[in-house]
Amino acid sequence: MADASFDIVSKVDRQEVDNALNQAAKEVAQRYDFKGVGASIEWSGEKVLLKANTPERVRAVLDVFESKLVRRGVSLKSIDFGDKEASPSGKEYRLEGPLKNGIDQENAKKIAKIIRDEGPRGVKPLIQGDELRVTSKSRDDLQAVIALLKGKDLDVALQFTNYR
């Protein structure tokens, strides 16, 4: 019998992020507490750019955006706003957050180590670029690995694809 396998990836649905951003921009434009503070949210290339005239207002715009992301099923780990400290740029404060697609080498090694150390025997993780392939003789072992990884608090949003 052939080995069963699945892939661990970290992909962001850009359309869902775009929809959440548009909803947040509409709410920021309409809310009374954002009037006259220059608050806005928009795309800046591949990054989300938040602007306002005080750091507190930038964090409030971020809260609105994060609530829209959660409602649309996008993990907050898929956009990295760093330490959430707004940087002053002239008279306005800015906060930029790039979309995180793919699993970087450091996190891939960490995930592979978790699978080897805590996962069932006979399960083999293999790093392939920005994703991991996990193989085993038993599909039950693969299910156990998925449950193990879902229970861990990792720095990346994980999806499990190509389960065969």
Number of neighbouring beta carbons within 10 Å of residue 70: 12
Residues of the chain with CATH 3.30.70.990: 14-98
Q: How confident is the model at residue 92 (pLDDT cuts 50, 70, 90)?
A: confident
**% residues pLDDT > 70 (the chain):** 96
E strand segments, the chain: 4-9, 40-44, 47-52, 87-89, 92-98, 124-128, 131-136, 159-161
Residues of the chain with CATH 3.30.70.860: 4-11+102-161
Q: How confident is the model at residue 26 (pLDDT cuts 50, 70, 90)?
A: very high
User: Looking at domain 14-98, does it have CATH number 3.90.1170.40?
Assistant: no
Q: Rounded mean pLDDT of 92-102?
A: 89
pLDDT over threshold 80, residue 90? no
Burial class (CB in 10 A: 0-12, 13-18, 19+), 2: exposed
CATH class of 4-11+102-161: alpha beta
pTM of the prediction? 0.84
pLDDT over threshold 60, residue 1? no
**% residues pLDDT > 90 (the chain):** 66
